[in-house]
Amino acid sequence: MTSLRFSGLAAVALLAAIGGCKGETAAKETVSEHGMTIKPVTITTADGKAHIFKSEVAANEAQQQQGLMYRARLAPDAGMLFAPYPPDGGPPKAASFWMENTPNALDILFIRADGTIATIGENAVPFSQAKVESGEPIAAVLEIAGGRAGELGIAAGDKVTWK
């Protein structure tokens, strides 16, 4: 009997290990049709509400230069995270973005090194070459659909996190 009990426990342990391996496979990063990793980005507002955006990560210079240009649509819970900014991983610096070849209005959230929002360029005008400026050194930028920041009560000083 003892050997059967031990065998049963061994089988349970083996099944748990196999299940653990499956979980690791399922935890692989999701990649967008544009070849960028997709990560959840959470914005926690001053009143404690958390808003999660499924964001493509523009992590290198080419991806950051392309951004959301030529994208026909951006879902309300989607975004693009420019991180690190600058893409060479250097220290935070002031940034300016424009909307050339971008057909959708965007809210551009400039994020400090401490994860707080410095400024928001709200409803940046599609196809405009006017610069939307951070106003101070920043470490990341999150672009979301135009008007979403206002709809959700997102403001300067709110906290932005991602893994």
Residue-wise pLDDT tens digits, 109-160: 999 999 999 999 999 999 999 999 999 999 999 999 999 999 999 999 999 9
Mean pLDDT of 36-62: 97
Sign of the torsion angle spanned by Cα atoms 121, 43, 148, 64: positive
**pLDDT at position 10:** 39
| Greatest Cα pair distance in the chain | 79
Q: Which amino acid is present at 143?
A: E
Helices (H), the chain: 2-26, 61-66, 148-152
Mean pLDDT of 39-64: 97
Mean pLDDT of 33-43: 95
Q: What angle do CA 25, 34, 127 make, to 5 degrees?
A: 150
Separation of alpha carbons 124 and 128, rounded Å: 8
Residue-wise pLDDT tens digits, 84-105: 999 898 999 999 999 999 999 9
**pLDDT at position 27:** 55
> How many residues does this entry show for the chain?
163
Burial per residue of 79-104, b for 16 or more beta-carbon CB atoms within 10 angstroms, e otherwise: bbbbbbbebeeeebeebebbbeebeb
**pLDDT at position 13:** 39
Closest among 139, 95, 154, 103 to 124, alpha carbons compared = 103
